[in-house]
Amino acid sequence: MKWHKNLLKIIQDRKGKKLALIVDTSTTETKTDLIANIVTFFKELTPETTLVQADFKIRSTNLITEGTEIKYHTHGKASYTLALEWAEEENIETVFYITDLTGFLPEDMQVPYEVYWLVPTEFVPKAPFGKVMKIV
């Protein structure tokens, strides 16, 4: 459970910055209870965080509020490009992306903000940029 403390410190260190929590909704094979708990964690610490639900497209962007429900899809297709481009357009300073890192991302893509890949699986692929945190 060391990741809890690390994530807490990272969030606290970014107090007052524009944050986004992006959830990869392309599959129900992830730990949906764990993801719901992380969403609640962000809601309690930084309710001004924007919650983005995305798979191969952006499904929704809202502030994290009471009763926010994640709607998963079962097609297994994920692309990170649109969500990361959205974050740049919105001047997000730090993105927390909950995903298994098996989606599409152009090899040459670069972003002008911090990215934390929160991976809720035992196997953690290499991320093209940013920092990876296993959250199991």
- Walk along the chain (136 residues) and give the pLDDT tens digit of each residue: 588 899 999 999 999 999 999 999 998 777 889 999 999 999 999 999 999 999 999 999 999 876 678 999 887 789 999 999 999 999 999 999 999 998 998 888 999 999 999 999 888 888 989 999 999 8
pLDDT of the residue at 66: 66
- Provide φ and ψ at 87, rounded to 5°: -60, -40
Q: Is residue 54 a contact partner of residue 71, using CB atoms and an 8 Å limit? A: no
Burial of 33 (0-12, 13-18, 19+ CB in 10 A): exposed
Q: What integer pLDDT is reported at residue 123 of this predicted model?
A: 86
